[in-house]
Structure 1
Amino acid sequence: MKQIYAFESIPDYENYKDEIDLLNKKLKTYKELLINQFELIELPKTIVWTSSKNATTVFSQVPVPAYTNRETIYMSPSVSEWKAFYLSLFDGEELENSDEIEYIKAYFQSLTIDDVFCILAHELTHHIELFPDEFGDERNNSIWFEEGMCEYLSQRMTLTEHRYTELRKIENLMIKLFKPKYGVFLLDDFGIGSYHQPSLASIMLNYWRSTAAVHYLIEDIYEGVSVSTNK
């Protein structure tokens, strides 16, 4: 995959360089895992590394600074930008302060390059051949299984057992917080139009619910997944 750096100045690029290098090293191992075990055949042509602001205002209007299409992955590599993204989920939400909210915020403040890599790995996972309708223009709804599986595989295959368990707890708490307000619909209704909702929390709720469903199907119904990983 070609690497394209879309920053506004050389100093801006230099601020991101170390994180990009670390993500690329991790991506090499994860790419081989997808090729060997999950039918990754046709890779995207390019990764465009850019800032969170450019990702969500220049290259797309989707308010999440990581996404992929058939040929390109767009990605903010910055740990600090992803911390800010997740903490912004609470902006404008009328939630009373609680120990649960403080716990969630502390978790997001603790994000590392490993957590950011999960997001990049999610985008690459979209390219495996196990999703027959990937990148189809007609996919206006019912994308929950693909999104949930991309989340599940990228998290389960790259995080330590402890970090994965902690993430499951955090996302279940987020579902508990936001589902009463934003989640009164079937998972099958999660589609492209879901990205046009005004609340960032309402958009991300689709991912948390989808991942929880896939986790349940694999680890509770199927009783686990067995793959070789490098953690």
Structure 2
Amino acid sequence: MRFIRTIGLAAVSLPLIFSGANAGVIIGGTRIIFDGAKKEASIGVTNPDSTPYLIQSWIDLKDGHSGKTPFIITPPLYRLDGGQQNVERIVMTGTLPQDKETLFWLNIKAIPAASSQANSLQIAVKTRIKLIYRPEDLRASTPEEQATKLTWQRTGNELQVTNPTRYVINFNEVSVGGQNIDDVTYVLPGESARFPLPAGARGNSLIFKIINDYGSPGKPHQASL
């Protein structure tokens, strides 16, 4: 299992305590694929430090906005003492389309206990990872296996990718004419996404990598514009 650690100020969301440059909780994964054949999924949260943390968790819609989702997360708020681990359960309470994947965001905020040291800086750190609901009928394949079905084209100074598949496809990297494109993200099922092309990105040769279900980049794929 791959782990992601919230460290330092990189993911600061609120000015509240951090003691030590390496302080933080460890989230047991970089994404959650919710199996539509099951009623729940889970993820571990570990506190390797001596400082207790208050952990708050919630789920946002695909656009990052809060709103009603067909999930509850339990426990949504709890204390995590130093050296302890807890498992958060995500339970499905509603219905979702069964002909395609649906994207949500899981937010986990770690708020450290108040420090007894004078003039200490308190900082809460929020980690956000993808929560992807995969219907039972889609378990026979993966986004990696569907990657060759993507179509690409130039649109002005942007690169447009169209996803005819039923899977949320997350990109690790995309390059055109040997130049990497910054800030590539994902493309939703049946939709298109656009990414700004860097200056001097010429030619019709394109190489891209997909992030797999375990959060690792897959093999390079080639395409033409």
Comparing both structures, which one devotes a greater share of its residues to strand?
Answer: 2
TM-score w.r.t. length of structure 2: 0.25
Comparing both structures, which one devotes a greater share of its residues to helix?
Answer: 1
Whose Rg is larger? Answer: 2
TM-score w.r.t. length of structure 1: 0.25
